[in-house]
């Protein structure tokens, strides 16, 4: 189930031995929700990228235990995987859930959601493909909304042109449930590639 960055550009139809919409998640943590999504959407193939080795191991263990066949993972930097391993127009959905908010102002430049990264990612989505982000940091949600609203080639799927309710396909994590109990908000953003 593991994929290697050193293998370079992948033909995911060969990797999964079928043609199916491809969903890629950046930074899946321990992988519980990614495994759950793969189980709940057997008509899609999932690729996860994570740099934290224990998280990759936990994800692979869960997937094997639950007999999941539509999931592969990279233990590598997401920016490099996008650049070297994913063909243009290959992805139906990209998921970025609860990325590091780098909450100190002087660290904001380290946030993964930046204009240049969004444009690199755009080329990997099919027309009609969706970038789905979620965060529990209101300041980061506002940053994401500004970056995406200014991004060429994307249209907000929110009817109010800001955030969307949590879609069914994104599982509620234990971390998120705890946040809700403490009165914390969570913001989901979904932007469709239109050009």
CATH number of the domain where residue 90 is located = 3.40.50.150
Higher local confidence (pLDDT), 72 or 103: 72
The answer on pLDDT for 148 being more than 80 is yes
| pLDDT reported for residue 106 | 66
Residue with tokens 């953003």: 189
Domain that holds residue 25: 2-193
Question: Residue 103 — very low, low, confident or very high, per pLDDT cuts 50/70/90?
Answer: low
The answer on pLDDT for 108 being more than 80 is no
Strand partners, 47: 24, 72
Radius of gyration of the chain (CA): 16
The answer on pLDDT for 94 being more than 60 is yes
Sheet holding 91-97, edge to edge: 2-3, 71-74, 45-49, 22-26, 91-97, 125-135, 187-193, 154-156
The answer on pLDDT for 152 being more than 60 is yes
Alpha-carbon distance 165 to 77, whole Å? 29
Share of the chain above pLDDT 90, in %: 80
| pLDDT reported for residue 107 | 56
Average pLDDT over residues 34-56: 97
Share of the chain above pLDDT 70, in %: 95
| pLDDT reported for residue 176 | 80
The reply to whether 116 belongs to the active site is no
Cβ–Cβ contacts within 10 Å for residue 64, how many?
12
| pLDDT reported for residue 44 | 98
Catalytic residue among 100, 116, 136, 162: 100
Number of domain units in the chain:
1
The answer on pLDDT for 174 being more than 80 is no
Question: Residue 161 — very low, low, confident or very high, per pLDDT cuts 50/70/90?
Answer: very high
Model pLDDT for residues 36-46, shown as the tens digit of each residue: 999 999 999 99
The answer on pLDDT for 104 being more than 80 is no
| pLDDT reported for residue 173 | 77
| pLDDT reported for residue 7 | 96
């Amino acid at each position: 189930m593991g994929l290697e960055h050193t293998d370079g550009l992948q033909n995911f139809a060969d990797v999964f031995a079928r043609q199916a919409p491809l969903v890629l998640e950046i930074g899946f943590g321990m992988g519980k929700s990614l495994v759950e999504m793969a189980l709940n959407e057997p008509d899609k193939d999932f690729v996860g990228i994570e740099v934290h080795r224990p998280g990759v191991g936990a994800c692979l263990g869960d997937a094997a235990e639950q007999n999941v066949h539509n999931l592969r993972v990279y233990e590598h930097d997401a920016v490099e995987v996008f650049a070297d391993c994913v063909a243009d127009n290959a992805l139906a959905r990209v998921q970025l859930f609860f990325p590091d908010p780098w909450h100190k102002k002087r660290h904001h430049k380290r946030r993964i959601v930046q204009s240049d990264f969004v444009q690199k990612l755009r080329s990997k989505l099919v027309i009609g493909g969706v970038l789905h982000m979620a965060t529990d940091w209101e300041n980061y949600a506002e940053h994401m909304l500004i970056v995406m609203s200014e991004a060429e080639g994307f249209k907000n799927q929110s009817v109010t042109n800001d955030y969307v309710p949590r879609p069914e396909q994104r599982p509620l994590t234990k971390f998120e449930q705890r946040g809700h109990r403490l009165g914390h908000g969570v913001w989901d953003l979904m932007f469709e590639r239109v050009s």
